[in-house]
């Protein structure tokens, strides 16, 4: 099939049929995929055509509720219409073109899906971000990417406005809002008057599609750039086994739209299979709402961070036997074996773990019908070849701790990020022999199951958020009370891990009420950077442990937190 597809131009229907009719699991990689692929024309338009031919059932492609009585149900035909209008707005009104960067900072509103697919239709590179971002975070993203456009929500208009003058490349500001904002284009009214006729670009598999900002050990987030392979990967027979979605399934992925998990779980995975994407607006996370929604709507599959399952289990509700739910998946941080057991006991359902990063999408998983080994993140998902490696890229034997690596030589696999945009040094830093070094530590057993052990560097994974310590330390440094600080990960029974700050106070603050000062510092961090990064634990110390050369012994502090000293 690989040879047949190569070099041939297939219609969406032909391409889809050829891929779906394949029995078995060929080992797709960069060399044996079609040269051209576009998720909008090859997937979404295919299903729209199936609907027109009466070959897809009546279930919506997109089902959105907000808990206040508002509901939207769109078919694939409707989505085709709306995303073509969006593409026309981008090209004709905003003058954007293939390769331009667009910052997409929206909550879980239907327009997020329109913008994403509109970008794919036109080749505009979309860069999702969480609505928790503050002015400085947004400024950094726009300047680093030289974004020409931003689409955001009313509440973030003032944040963007406060930095817009420092962003000379930013020419187009679109807002999704009920009212008008001076200097901003109104996205909803523009798509109403735009034409629904649009010719989708013929994108090459290697053409960039999206950029995800991802935190590192030092400095500010890096830009992990993905090509169309991120979307094509969901076609691969092995990936189809991940959730085994049918057109009749209704999948609720609860990830914030700012993360790669949402691009994969709220869009690519479900629509590749032609099933329904279910979304609750969830402006504020509330486990009670999760339980209510799972009882009220015919959801068959859900995908959420371990913290969500954990918080649902902490609810007083005695009945967690959801009437239609068949399959649960989790990713973003570690699921504890006891949480797995409790969920199974109370819902009758297993939780299947996936593992990945902004650089990799889902790289490892317990596929739907695979044996679950509690505490393991499952096996490598093709075409990724995952191995445990040492610092030089040598493969380590089973049950030996090392770095989780993905083979990139001789062939970089489809679905792995292309590079860190504008940062060849960062890109080469994570290349280790024949492998991409994820920076995560793990082991592999004789059956190929991987066991995630934590980060090998100082990056913090708290509640599924990847947080660079420097981002928090820089925010703390802006407060007059802070002379010096160091931020590490610390264990937490509710959230797995949380951010902990060790702070040396400036002398004039030593006499302040400590409880009050902690609250003030937490509030300060929440106000200058995305609030999910704020230190939930704070300890004031008289000095920080340092080496003779003055380097902070970060590892010592972290190990102490985890009782390893």
- Strand 125-128 relative to strand 149-153: parallel, antiparallel, unpaired? unpaired
Quick one: 45 or 256, whose CB is closer to ligand BCO? 256
Quick one: 50 or 312, whose CB is closer to ligand BCO? 312
Quick one: 122 or 358, whose CB is closer to ligand BCO? 358
Cα distance between residue 402 and residue 390, in whole Å: 6
**Beta strands across the sheet bearing 496-505:** 482-492, 496-505, 537-540
Which residues on adjacent β-strands are paired with residue 186?
A: 175
Quick one: 190 or 530, whose CB is closer to ligand BCO? 530
Quick one: 94 or 303, whose CB is closer to ligand BCO? 303
Q: Please give the full DSSP string across 303-367, using - where no structure is assigned.
A: EE-HHHHHHHHTS--S----SS--EEEE-SSPPPHHHHHHHHHHHS--EEEEEEETTTEEEEE--
- Strand 402-407 relative to strand 125-128: parallel, antiparallel, unpaired? unpaired
Cα distance between residue 15 and residue 433, in whole Å: 35
Quick one: 113 or 212, whose CB is closer to ligand BCO? 212
Quick one: 168 or 283, whose CB is closer to ligand BCO? 283
Quick one: 526 or 560, whose CB is closer to ligand BCO? 526
The answer to whether residues 155 and 131 touch, using CB atoms and an 8 Å cutoff, is: yes
Closest CA to 471 of 213, 171, 152: 213
The answer to whether residues 348 and 323 touch, using CB atoms and an 8 Å cutoff, is: no
Which residues in this chain contact ligand BCO in the complex, by CB under 6 A?
132, 255-256, 259-261, 285, 305, 307-308, 331-332, 354, 356-357, 361-362, 463-465, 526, 531-532
Cα distance between residue 434 and residue 108, in whole Å: 39
DSSP letter, residue 412: P
Cβ within 8 Å of residue 262, ≥6 positions away: 128, 253, 255, 256
Closest CA to 216 of 101, 359, 385, 365: 359
Q: Is the peptide bond before 383 cis (omega within 30 degrees of 0)?
A: yes
Q: CB 331 → ligand BCO: shortest distance, Å?
A: 4
Quick one: 36 or 269, whose CB is closer to ligand BCO? 269
Q: With helix as H, strand as E and coil as C, how does 123-159 read?
A: CCEEEECCCCCCHHHHHHHHHHHCCCEEEEEHHHHHH
Quick one: 354 or 460, whose CB is closer to ligand BCO? 354
Quick one: 50 or 381, whose CB is closer to ligand BCO? 381
CA 544 to chain centre: 34
SS3 415: coil
445 token code pair: 């057993």
Q: With helix as H, strand as E and coil as C, how does 164-179 read?
A: HCCCCCCCEEEEECCC
Cα distance between residue 485 and residue 296, in whole Å: 47
Cα distance between residue 82 and residue 63, in whole Å: 15
Write out the E strands in 39-154: 62-65, 71-74, 101-105, 125-128, 149-153
Quick one: 365 or 488, whose CB is closer to ligand BCO? 365
């Amino acid at each position: 099939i690989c040879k047949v597809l190569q070099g041939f131009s297939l219609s969406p229907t032909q391409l889809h049929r050829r891929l779906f009719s394949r029995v078995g699991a060929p080992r797709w990689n960069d060399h044996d995929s079609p040269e051209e692929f576009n998720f909008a024309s090859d997937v979404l338009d295919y299903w729209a055509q199936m609907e027109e031919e009466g070959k897809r059932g009546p279930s919506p492609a997109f089902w959105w509720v907000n808990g206040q009585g508002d509901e939207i149900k769109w078919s694939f035909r409707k989505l085709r219409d709306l995303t073509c209008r969006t593409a026309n707005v981008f090209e004709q009104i905003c003058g954007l073109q293939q390769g331009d960067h667009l910052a997409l900072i929206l909550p879980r509103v239907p327009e997020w899906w329109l913008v994403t697919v509109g970008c794919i239709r036109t080749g505009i590179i979309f860069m999702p971000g969480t609505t928790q971002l503050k002015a400085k975070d947004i400024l950094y993203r726009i300047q680093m990417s030289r974004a020409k456009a931003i689409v955001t929500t009313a509440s973030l208009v003032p944040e963007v406005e406060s930095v817009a003058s420092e962003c000379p490349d930013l020419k187009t500001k679109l807002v999704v809002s009920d009212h008008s904002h001076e200097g901003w284009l109104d996205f909803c009214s523009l798509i109403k008057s735009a034409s629904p006729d649009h010719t989708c670009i013929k994108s090459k598999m290697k053409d960039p599609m999206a950029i995800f900002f991802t935190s590192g050990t030092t400095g500010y987030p890096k830009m992990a750039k993905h090509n169309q392979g991120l979307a094509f990967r969901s076609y691969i027979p092995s990936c189809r086994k991940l959730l085994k979605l049918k057109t009749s399934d209704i999948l609720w992925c609860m990830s914030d739209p700012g993360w790669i998990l949402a691009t994969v779980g709220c869009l690519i995975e479900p629509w590749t299979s032609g099933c329904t994407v279910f979304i609750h607006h969830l402006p504020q996370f509330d486990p009670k709402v999760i339980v209510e929604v799972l009882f009220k709507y015919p959801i068959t599959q859900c995908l959420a961070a371990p913290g969500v399952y954990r918080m649902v289990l902490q609810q007083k509700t005695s009945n967690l036997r959801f009437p239609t739910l068949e399959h649960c998946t989790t990713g973003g941080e570690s699921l504890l074996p006891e949480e797995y057991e409790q969920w199974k006991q109370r819902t009758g359902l297993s939780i299947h773990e996936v593992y990945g990063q902004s650089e990799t999408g889902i790289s490892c998983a317990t596929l739907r019908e695979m044996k679950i080994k509690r505490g393991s993140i499952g096996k490598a998902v093709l075409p990724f070849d995952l191995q445990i490696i040492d610092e030089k890229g040598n493969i380590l034997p089973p049950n030996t701790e090392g770095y989780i690596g993905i083979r990139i030589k001789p062939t970089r696999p489809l679905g792995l990020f292309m590079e860190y945009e504008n940062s060849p040094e960062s890109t080469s830093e994570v290349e280790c022999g024949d492998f991409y070094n994820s920076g995560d530590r793990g082991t592999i057993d004789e059956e190929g199951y991987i066991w995630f052990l934590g980060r090998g560097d100082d990056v913090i994974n708290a509640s599924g958020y990847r947080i660079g310590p420097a981002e928090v330390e820089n925010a703390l440094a802006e407060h007059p009370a802070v002379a010096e600080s160091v931020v590490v990960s610390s264990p937490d029974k509710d959230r797995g891990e949380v951010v902990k700050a060790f702070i040396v106070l400036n002398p004039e603050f030593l006499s302040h009420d400590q409880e009050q000062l902690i609250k003030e510092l937490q509030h300060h961090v929440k106000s200058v950077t995305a609030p999910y990064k704020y230190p939930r634990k704070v300890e004031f110390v008289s000095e920080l442990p340092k080496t003779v050369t003055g380097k902070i012994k970060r590892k010592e502090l972290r190990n102490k937190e985890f009782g390893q000293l």
